[in-house]
Structure 1
Amino acid sequence: MQKMAFNKARAKAKTIAALVSTLGLVSLSNHATAGLLVGHLTDKNAQSVSNAVLFATPLDTPTPPKKAGDTSIVAQENYAFSPYLTVVRSGSLVRFPNKDNHEHHLKSFSPAKTFELRVNSKKEEPAPILFDKTGEVALVCHFHDWMRGFIYVVDTPYFTKTDASGNAVINNLPAGKYEVKAWAPNMLGEPLAQTVQVLADGSSNVKFQFNFVPKAPPAPRNLSKGPATFGYD
């Protein structure tokens, strides 16, 4: 009986070891076939565009499932939205903490998400808002009319923003065919789109040129020592 039990235990250990080995090989294989998408975005004058969105949707591989509870933060800080542009996947929550001394009255009239939210820095932060539709969400403050910001909602986990040089990198993409799109704040119409074959190793490059010049983000303001500014100036 003892010998039989020992043999069963040894066989079980071999099975577990084989499974662990197989999973390790699968993990290494997935890592080995992860590609890199490098994008460069310019305006109509061939100048680099910062604060733009680049995102890729797989066409011949499954899209990874959404993660429950994904939360991003768009703060009101120095009387500006921080960050100016936020990219989230549909189904994500966004918090709106107020780091200024005065109250803000946030609004969005965008079809992707219409809401109105008063945020007082001296009171408890309001509950986060769910963004469940794709597209552009333009943010304004009713009390401080210069404040402008954007949330862009995509239905893919593969997204990023351009840096000051107009460059954007999406890594760990499974090899395959993707619909790659580019969007910038104040853009009219649909995002620019291309079909790109992402390689199993190395980088795949894509370039987009917008037919307009995006506006620069509003500069932060220091009103901490002055009276609150309401309405329009």
Structure 2
Amino acid sequence: MRSVFFSVVLVMFSVIFSVSVSAANFEADIVDQQGKPLKFAVLTLQGPPGNVAIALKADMDQRDQQFAPHVLAVHSGTQIAFPNSDNVRHQVYSFSPAKRFELRLYEGTPSLPVLFDKAGVVVLGCNIHDSMLGYVYVTDDPWFAVSGGDGAIKFDQLAAGHYKVTLWHPDSADMQPVSGGEIDVPVNGLRQRFTLPVQPKDTDMDMTPAPSAFGDAFKKAAHE
């Protein structure tokens, strides 16, 4: 009986060890068609099955009459809170197919978060401030992230193996996800560059959107 116990322990240790040594890092550099780093790009991965810790709670704040972050990526089934850090009231809403909702005029934080249970692009607006524009990218893929100002994304402790890549950006021509191809992540890690064409803008993406931006964005996102 004792030998059986130690055999089971040894097998469990071997499994844990094999998982730990197969973990790898994957770094992505996302650029536009001009080769410039692309901020607010979403990259998702489909790959080998495994235990992935996914947080199903997130915040979409409102600061300086803008949504913060401008782009939020979450897994389907995530509860999102919409705190209002401004000293004016907001009325957040969306009529995107992936999630239709409205938070009546409020200050502070609504008592209940909003459940985003369907994959897709959700365009956010404010009934009081027409220039406010934000996006929630809801995915069924287990790995996802949003690029920073340098266009970089990094996944730590990713299982080595074969993955399918999906890319998205709010300034893409039709605002729909596109394939980023397939990659093989070795045990010693991988760094790869992806080009995602976007529509040229006259102003920086961090600037306040035009009043018509919400309507234009919704029309694109409604194509899904």
TM interval, short-chain normalised: 0.7 to 0.9
Alignment counterpart, residue 63 of structure 2, candidates 72, 77, 97 = 77
Instruction: Indicate the residue corresponding to 1:43 in structure 2.
Output: 32
CA apart distance, 1:78: 2.0
Change (3 A) 1:24 1:219: farther
CA apart distance, 1:55: 0.9
Cα deviation code 1:11-55 (max 9, x no counterpart):
45x655554443333222112111222211112222110111111
Matched-pair contact (CA < 8 Å) for 2:94–2:122: yes
The 5 A counterparts of 1:102-117 are 102-117=88-103
Q: Which has the larger radius of gyration?
A: 1
Matched-pair contact (CA < 8 Å) for 2:75–2:142: yes
1:174 aligns with 2:163: no
Distance in 2, matches of 1:147 and 1:107, equals 11
Paired residue total: 205
Alignment counterpart, residue 161 of structure 1, candidates 131, 146, 162 = 146
Instruction: Indicate the residue corresponding to 2:186 in structure 1.
Output: 199
Instruction: Indicate the residue corresponding to 1:190 in structure 2.
Output: 176
User: Which amino acid is 1:108 matched to?
Assistant: S
Identity %: 30
The 5 A counterparts of 1:1-233 are 11=1, 16-58=5-47, 61-62=48-49, 64=51, 70-121=56-107, 125-187=110-172, 188-193=174-179, 194-213=181-200, 216-219=205-208
Distance in 2, matches of 1:142 and 1:162, equals 28
Instruction: Indicate the residue corresponding to 2:214 in structure 1.
Output: none
User: Which amino acid is 2:189 matched to?
Assistant: G
User: Which amino acid is 1:201 matched to?
Assistant: N
Distance in 2, matches of 1:216 and 1:189, equals 15
